[in-house]
Every structure is written in C-alpha cells, then in structure tokens.
Amino acid sequence: MGKPFVFFDLGQTLVDERDFINRFDQRFLELLNGFGTKIDHRGYCAVRDSVIRDRRIGHGSSRELIVEICSLLSPPGYDIVIADRLEPEILKGRKELLRFYDVASEVLHELKNKGYEMGLIANQSEDVMDLLKSSGLGGYFKVQVVSSLVKLSKPDPRIFQLAMNKAGCEADNCIMVGDRLDTDICPANRLGMKTIRTTSSLFHLQKPLSECENPTVTVSSLSEIPGILERIL
C-alpha cells in the first residue's frame, strides 16, 4: 500500500479565521445591543461558546451562528433582521481577513516533498476558491471538494465518498484532518478513514459524544502532522 491520501478541512484547520471572528463578534454584539439585548462581550462569548459546544450549528456558517445566538438572546424575528444586516459585512470580512495559517505553506510543502497527495473536503462558500488562488496554495490539492460547488455538505458521507472517488483512493488508505468532531472526525471514521483532529479552533470546545468522534490522533498545531502521518496507518 502506498502513502495515504491526506484530506484537509479548510476553515479553522488550514485557514486562520481569528481576525474575521473577532470582527464578526464585535459587530454582532453591537447589533444585538442595538436591538435591545443587554449583554457585554464576556457574556456574549459565553453564549457563543455554549452554542458551539452544544452542537447547535450544523455546517458552521456565520448565519447559522447568528440565528442560534439570537434564539437565546433576542425576541423572535430579530435573527433574520440581524443576519441580513451583517451579511454584506461578513462577505467583506471573509475577503479581507481570511488567510492561511503561517505554518500551512510549510506543512503542505513538506508533505508534497515526502510524496503525499492531498485534497480538500470543506464546507465553504464559493469565495474560498479566490483565497486558494490568491494564496498560491491551491496547487497543493489534487482534489478540491467544496460544499457550495458540489451541493453536498459534511457530515454527509457522500461528500467524503465523492472526494475519495476523485482521488482514486479507498478509505483505509485515506486520512482526514479537521477541527470538528461532528462534521470532520465522526463521518470520516465511520467510512474507515484515519483521522487527525486539530485543536487550534473554537471547535476545541467539542467533546466526543460517541465512539466515532474519537480521532486517531489529536494535534495542537499543523506543524505536528508531517511527523505523525507515517505512524498512524
């Protein structure tokens, strides 16, 4: 059996969203209070983190997060108003602030030099393709399966199977790297892939709820991945 095919998630796995999240949180909090919610930043973060920890958002979009937080803090109907108000700012923020982690280029280059083929399985809007192009890192990925383009989203096993079919590999010779237990780790495990969980995102708050959510390996940094790949298959 040759080297495993390595699939990556994008958001908060390879792509650093911290500046975007900080701007989003600030503007969302301003709008919440502007519409009558009385909450400070600390209280807002506590609610946001509980929504993430309790699996109240599915695909992980900003709009989903807005709706769920508003359901806890605002009168009915405010979620749509606030989401619509924030939509242009979210699109602008994604374009201006999303970037690959500094270590991502180094890690991808090292994996390529070691003979690994790589791909993406990501729940993302189409604008992520511009980031892949502008960063110069898109060329590392033989397969790029993005939910908005293929009309399938994680954790649907079909998006993983589509990616494996494009890569020409079987699950037992594939590795999935992602930050979410529910949309990355569990579905990949169920298909027979090996899994690596990264804990540098907000989704480190998730705790395994079932056997399928236990990753093969957990890392705190992408830089650990080249050293462990050869040991996990």
pLDDT digit string, tens, across residues 36-89: 999 999 999 999 999 999 999 888 789 999 999 999 999 999 999 999 999 999
pLDDT digit string, tens, across residues 84-105: 999 999 999 999 999 999 999 9
The span from the CA of 148 to the CA of 123, in Å, is 7
Residue 1 is predicted with a pLDDT of 62
pLDDT digit string, tens, across residues 121-175: 999 999 999 999 999 999 999 999 999 999 999 999 999 999 999 999 999 999 9
Q: What is the percentage of the chain residues whose pLDDT exceeds 70?
A: 100
pLDDT digit string, tens, across residues 196-213: 999 999 999 999 999 999
The span from the CA of 159 to the CA of 147, in Å, is 8
- Average pLDDT over the chain, rounded to whole? 95
Residue 140 is predicted with a pLDDT of 97
3-state secondary structure 133-162: HHHCCHHHEEEEEEHHHHCCCCCCHHHHHH
Domain 5-16+99-231: top CATH class: alpha beta
The span from the CA of 177 to the CA of 188, in Å, is 9
